[in-house]
Chains A and B, each alone.
Chain A
């Protein structure tokens, strides 16, 4: 099945940023501060190296099967039955990921902004818009990022710049106080976010020209690592690791402390607005990939009819997944790393090895 649109390598990289950063910026700094204390930014760098492995696997697979999505080459590598099963596992994994993101999103809004509105309402409303966007295809999603990205980058820059008066370099010291173990623990946590760059395997087939995929993978990963470590470092510089670990939404708290001349202050509503835009892209791209994957597995010509039902299911799943925000934190801290390691690294690696052993490749299409 083919998508009619193509995206440029730059858009692919930016989509990759949006597929990881929005939730990572909000949740990760606090979790990292909990695990790695003042060395949290080091964990991000270590996790980036690990995510590089995913990028490599994605790249090698894409090279073997240019113009094929993840779900298509699953079947090419493993044959119709096993291939479809593995592809279905990927579809389910993306589906779950999307549900988690939706839940994180609505939980944040309920906790931080509008405590009296039911979380279900937030999930429903954002997924409604996401369904509208996902139905319009990858090209439209990619073009939306062109507007949200400048806002997001500017906002991060403004927050970090204007938070400098509050920053205390002392908070970063001593480096590697407890050796490498906490850093590795933190890396495992941030890995579960960074590994999401695996999503490029699903939509990388629509990057034009295909050989630029490597550039978009590298720039995507480096950009993510850059922003993530910057925000993490900023959080810890401002709050210190103990305080940061207690904040659930550290980046949001960071936006709260920004103040400039008694006028430019309390910009967390702005943070909310821009962050909603970012998460919207993340939810949309995941929903798109789920629908695309399911359409491929079931052999449908069009993924569009699947988007709305999958969106509805996603909302239901998001509601069922957790009981409260601390369960999400627990999950992100303890469960997600192992799960993401399985389906974002080990399973693709298995695919790659199988493709290599069975000598499968499709080139020159």
Chain B
């Protein structure tokens, strides 16, 4: 039986890695992948707490998150492909037209 703090620590490391990737990476695909890391960190937390409080609801929520994340990444990749077609690049810092 793995202890809860250990799992939470693992999840925090995973989330921080994701945040770093989202904020620092320029490649759009990697940004999306980092978002996946953050979502999965949340999933680990949900499953861990579900096990800890003996409530199946957390695991159900984790399944929901996986499904929504699949949809999200589908749309995200489509946007990335369209950006690439238009600009021959998927660097997110170059897509900064939406401003005053």
Q: Do A and B bind each other?
A: no
Binding site for A on B (CB under 8 A): none
Binding site for B on A (CB under 8 A): none
